[in-house]
Structure formats: C-alpha cells, structure tokens
Amino acid sequence: METIKEIRTSKRKDFHRVVSFELSTMEKGRLENVRERCEGLDISSGGFGLITKCALKRGSVIRLYLPVDKEGPELPVFSEVIWVQPVGSHVKAGLRFL
C-alpha cells in the first residue's frame, strides 16, 4: 500500500466533528452542486483532514463549511483536495485552504 509523504508545515489539532462540504459535478450535462456530510479528523492554519463516503478527486476545489461554535453559523472556506486515500468504503482526504 502506498503511503502519503508527510509535507505538513503547520501543527494539526484534532477536529472530530461532523462538517459538510459542497462540490460541483456534471450530471446529465448539467452542473449540479452537491452538499455532503463528512467527519472531520484534524485542522491546522493551512488545511483540514476528513473522512467521507463521497468520491473526492485530487485537485478538486470544494467549499467546506466549518462550524464557528457548537450552536452558531458555519464558515464557508474554499479548499483544494491535495490527497485522497481509500479506507474501506470511505476515503480519507487532506485539504489545503485557499
């Protein structure tokens, strides 16, 4: 199994919360925005780690919705998918904030 080369430059903190993200896909010749939920794994000043059932692709740009606090609004943050690794029926992904 191929391992991911460690290239992080910022210290990560655990972030085990359910978050959502939005991505655009082409369905039947039409551009569709799809909103999915995922489990956050970790966060840093430069990026975010997550696990999801959605088939993310390296290089894709998604809109990640991060909760500001437990009851408050979500902060939309554009992020690039830097790496994707299959984990059973899910994928683990590393995002870079744009």
Between CA 75 and CA 5 the distance in angstroms is 29
pLDDT per position as a tens digit, 26-66: 777 888 889 999 999 999 999 999 999 998 999 999 999 99
HEC states along 44-70? CCCEEEEEECCCCCCCCEEEEEEECCC
pLDDT band of 20, cuts 50, 70, 90: very high
**How much is the pLDDT for 3?**
57
pLDDT band of 19, cuts 50, 70, 90: very high
CB atoms within 10 A of CB 62: 23
**How much is the pLDDT for 51?**
97
pTM, 2 dp: 0.83
Quote the strand ranges of the chain, DSSP E: 13-14, 18-27, 30-43, 47-52, 61-67, 74-87, 90-97
Domains (range + CATH), the chain: 13-97 (2.40.10.220)
